[in-house]
Amino acid sequence: MVVCRGGDCGSRAKHPDVDHVGLLRQMRDRIGGSARVAPSKCLEACEHSNVVVVVPGARDGEQVWVGGVNDRELNTALSDFVRAGGPGVAMLPIELELQQFRASRRSRQELDVERSTTGRRG
């Protein structure tokens, strides 16, 4: 799972009422050992901030790009989806489906670069 923290994501200027550190902590605590939660540089999807990408594990499944992850409820739904197995295994909850977006080619490339330079799978 990759959590964008560059550009507008994680920005107090754009989202002054969001506890970015608290949401990241909540996500890590809730997911536990089910997946890695990795903050990243800008994924070039600022219009959807705050962006989280759920990267599937070894099983089949496509990346799930979710925008507007700015509150505890959506953060909880996202964490529960990952704990249930994520893409290709668990059903995407409706609240995440409503926030899901198709990432641009540039955003997907940024994610690939981020993952390759850090050796991260998800």
The per-residue pLDDT for range 44-96, each reduced to its tens digit, is 999 999 999 999 876 677 999 999 999 999 999 999 999 999 998 999 999 99
What pTM value is reported for the model?
Answer: 0.89
114 CB-near residues (< 8 Å, 6+ apart): 2, 40, 41, 43, 120
Beta strand residue intervals within 19-82, DSSP E: 38-40, 52-54, 64-66
Highest mean pLDDT of the ranges 3-12, 36-45, 77-86: 77-86
Q: Give the three-class secondary structure for 58.
A: coil
Take residue 46 and report the two structure tokens written for it: 């600022």
The answer to whether the CB of 65 falls within 8 A of the CB of 77 is no
